[in-house]
Amino acid sequence: MITHLHGVLEQKTPASAVIDCGGIGYTLSISLNTYAQLPDKGMCRLFTHLAIREDAHVLFGFYNQAERELFRQLISVSGVGGNTALAVLSSLDPSGVRTTIANGDVATLKSIKGVGPKTAERIIVDLRDKMGKVDIGELGFAMPQNKQREEALTALVTLGFAKNAAEKAIDKVLKTHGSDIPVGEIVKRALSSF
């Protein structure tokens, strides 16, 4: 099992990162929260989870172990795959996910792309008691403010939204809140309009 990768960050997008470790480039699927913590270039470490399926081996990356543990708990729920778990972790920060589940907030969970009412209820039933066991800690997420619109659009399209609808939602957010709003905030506000 690959527990973490430490190497040079070659590329990052709101949905993925490429890390060069000893001359081998690894592509990892990441959440917006992890994206916000990564430098633009240089050395970094990501904790990993390898999902082996019949059609693919997918490596997921996380900025810290607490987010990885929360991801693993989400995918332990029947009907929640890796992409859905990343969508949850991209829509809410880890402490927000924990609070939402602990409070039984079905409405917030089902507002996330890929999470229907039954899946939201299943997540709450299966994980509510475990939320006290996840040590999320104090996680502050800051987002660099370059190419916000493009990166927010990439994130929403990756999460499964139609490009035209995503563009309209992003433009509405930028018009209301100004162009210097961080990408993570643009995506979260745009997600709430769907």
Predicted confidence (pLDDT) per residue in 76-119, tens digit: 999 999 999 999 999 888 888 988 998 888 999 989 988 999 99
157 is in which domain, residue-wise?
A: 148-191
Same domain, 11 and 41: yes
The reported pLDDT for the residue numbered 147 is 64
The total number of residues written for the chain in this structure: 194
Q: The CATH number of the domain where 126 resides is what?
A: 1.10.150.20
- Position 142 in a domain: no
Rounded to whole angstroms, the Cα distance separating 129 from 107 reads 19
- Position 106 in a domain: yes
Say how many domains are in the chain.
3
- List Cα–Cα distances, 143 to 86, 106, 171, 183, 187, in angstroms: 18, 28, 18, 6, 12
- Position 160 in a domain: yes
Same domain, 77 and 97: yes
Residue 28: both structure tokens together = 């990892």
Predicted confidence (pLDDT) per residue in 19-33, tens digit: 999 999 999 999 999
Same domain, 83 and 123: yes
126-143 as b/e: b if 16+ CB within 10 A: bbeeebeebebeeeebeb
- Position 76 in a domain: yes
- Position 141 in a domain: no
pTM given for the model: 0.69
